[in-house]
Amino acid sequence: MPGANLTRTEAEARKAVVLGPITYHVDLDLTQGPKNFLSTSTVEFGAVEGASTFLDLIADDVTAIELNGEQLDVEKAYADSRIELTDLKAQNTVTVTANCQYSNTGEGLHRSVDPSDGNIYLYTQFEVPDARRVYAVFDQPDLKAVFNFTVVAPESWIVTSNMAPATTFDLDQLTQPGTLGDHAAEATKKWQFAPTPTMSSYLTAICAGPYAEWHTEYANEDGRTVPMALYCRQALKDALDKDADYLFDITKKGFAFYAKTWGVPYPYAKYDQIFVPEYNAGAMENIGMVTIRDSYVFESKVTDALAERRVVTVLHELAHMWFGDYVTMKWWNDLWLNESFAEFMSTLCTAEATEWKDAWATFCSGEKSWALNQDQLSTTHPIVAPINDLNDTYVNFDGITYAKGASVLKQLVAYVGRDKFFEGINHYLNRYAYSNATLDDLLHELEETSGRDLGAWSKQWLEEAGINTITTDLGVDDDGVITGLALEQTAPTDHPVLRTHALNVGFYNEDPSTPDGTGKIVRTDEISLDVAGAKTLVEAAAGKPRPAFLLTNDDDLTYTKLRFDVDSLDFAKKNLYRFDDALARAVIWLALWDMTRDGDLPARDFIDTSLAALATETESTTFRYALAELSTTVWHYTDRTQRAAIASEVAAALWKLAAAAQPGSDQQFQLVGSYLTYGVEGDESFAKNVRSLLDGSFALDGLTIDNNFRWQLVHALVAVDAMTDDEVDAELARRDTTENRQFMYGAKAARPTADAKAWAWDQALHHDELTNSQLEEVAAGFSGTPDESLANQYVSQYFDVLDWIWKNKTFHMAETLIGDLYPVYAAPSALVEAGDKWLADHQDADNALLRMVKANVESSHRTRMVSDFNTSLHDDLDK
């Protein structure tokens, strides 16, 4: 959309013209439905006299613009999503009236109809710059303002915003036809909300609809009482009611932990958490009113990993009330000031203030593996990334900004000391309260409290891309005594920085209190040191007995790839399942996975080690990611000539592990779920197992076949063409809900036939009435079939349609299509050839588009390389 992409240069120029204070009065009429709503914005602001600037607005129709009492010609003033404002005065008032469009893509003001009861739910999502889809605004983070919202809506609805309503009025009018769907028209009401504190526009929010609600309050550390609320769709009321007290409790623990850790009490008037449908993010930190995807309301059994992730998400968004909301980055290049801190602090809070004590193992297995993957692409970027425009920003909500940033913050705490770090954070929050800050501002406060020069540290860790590898070089004499231990650091040629790492080296041996060969592997010694440059001698290790296993980066204090010494690697492969500490297992497992995807460890070794460890692993997120990595290894990295046999073997092993698992356990649940993804067309034994679980003719003790699990079984049967579309429709008719409609689309798209793939391809690209969640399901179902011949048919089509997608879809929908429609099971050589050609022909394409396509193509390069490596091992054996 021309004009919708704001550049950093334009933002800086506008900031120089628009002067504070800025005040908005936004009136929204939500009684018009079902496609549009009426928006009236009055903006009062100072400016450089005589200068010109612009407001942002994406609207179907702008009906009036008044600037300083003068009506402007709309045809001339509004173009390319911008309202031109010229000949400004020292003080200005502009009023804009427009018809804006409801969204079904989770951008702007999303409108969702719940098929189970016909209820309509509205919510806003404004990050990065989508407040402009709802009202006229200077939509950039450093033009903070005070916002006054007024909303007209059906009287039976609940309407919430960043602040509590100051007043409400009953109106003598009815909703217009279509506003309430099939429901009869009803009287309307006006909600007038209290003025917000000074804040950025992307953090404003409105939710409206017949939400179910729960309330409590928190005794804030500054003496205030903070009202708290939870909301969800009526269809999910019973499910959330079971967890409401728990979620309130987790949130209150977060309030207390953050206030104590930072020395700054929660700063806002209230705290709502609203679980909303068809969300294209995990959650959003709107001030005083967080929106969260309502898949976090658990109607069916979920993994412990997902239950823990919900806790981390709740605490992540709460941390944003300080990092991102109270103090906001000046421009999107410092997005990490929001996201890295929230990710780091939510993990720390989860580990230290909740029952999820192994949260750092969860972080290592899940978030850190995400970062390592993205940091080894050509599209990697520094944590403090160069952001030239909004499109650059969109693609930086990634593993670098979130997970690498959080890991590096953990390293910074180890480097300067925890007490000094949080003292600096206290100063930072107090100095920049309700305003904007930059990296330099933060570093200054940390340098003041820690006494350490962080300029060089920042350049290494925050301003340079890429990841180092630390290799253990161990010397041992004939008596098993260490004669020398060195840690050798290398860097990739395209990012050749060698960093300083504050880390621990752990010595691991069998628990001496148990008989040989039967005990857990425990840490028996540890050395702390700084690693710098190409080679660091660990002098304290000399003369110590050689342990069974040496773990560099014990406690996971730094961010690096690891390569073990030969004996330690051999020991880990044979004994990973015996390590007692969850974090140590996660660090080792991640290193083995990294070696596998680099072609440094045979796929067969990773598969065997993982299957053995899955039999005893108890940390749910580590379990979940190990299953995902196992699947990638089987379907993409193994010897091509042996792949089908290996997949069948692994499927049988998973089924056996599930049968042996504790009845009703998280492990049993995950193992069966993983098994369901290994079906191939024609596998009658697989189809029989799945069908018998679905119809109840066979049962695993403790395994509950609830709604969501039924749909996993349905999906698995359709994926091997053992269930018809009529049967899928009948399953939906049993319970027609928002979630089940999504599951239906995903199942039908997974059918391994040419007709089904053609249908899914067309639905994803051309069915504009699909919600964002339905689109995600149909696109993922399309590409998720491990059939090379089917996938090969879409290699050319995929690259041919990329330009059309980028031109015709909103960013989030384009991101879904470009990612999920990629025919990942096609022959890697075909994907590489077509992808490289497209990239060569599109060197001038938008950077955000290039980054997404490069990530896909480079994954195929890696797949081909690793598969060739493993195939060559089999070839060597044949010779």
Q: Which of 687, 758, 699 is nearest to 727 (CA)?
A: 687
Q: Length of the chain, please?
A: 879
Which residues in 643-682 are b (16+ Cβ under 10 Å) and which e? beebbbebbebbbebbeebeeeebbbbbbbbbbbbbbbbe
Distance CA 205, CA 123 (A): 8
> Dihedrals φ, ψ of 352, to 5°?
-105, -15
Place of tokens 């900031």: 15
Q: Which of 456, 453, 445, 444 is nearest to 498 (CA)?
A: 456
Distance CA 710, CA 744 (A): 11
- What torsion, rounded to 10 degrees, do the Cα atoms 688, 690, 695, 697 define? 60
Determine the Cα angle at 150 with ends 149 and 153, to 5°.
130
In the sheet that holds 36-47, the strands lie side by side as: 70-71, 61-67, 91-101, 36-47, 18-29, 146-154, 187-193, 165-174
Q: DSSP alpha helices (H): ranges in 696-827?
A: 707-719, 725-734, 738-749, 754-766, 772-783, 788-792, 795-808, 811-820
Place of tokens 């402007």: 72
Token representation of residue 867: 């598969």
Query: How many Cα atoms sit within 13 Å of 493 on the Cβ side?
Result: 0
The one-letter amino acid code at 834 reads A
Q: Could you list the beta-strand ranges (E) of 299-394.
A: 327-329
Q: Which residues are catalytic?
A: 317
Containing H/E element for 284?
strand 283-284
Contact 576, 522 (CB under 8 A): no
Distance CA 874, CA 63 (A): 70
Burial category of 10 from C-beta neighbours within 10 Å (exposed 0-12, middle 13-18, buried 19 and up): middle
Containing H/E element for 242?
helix 237-262
CA distances from 465 to 443, 581, 852 (A): 19, 31, 18
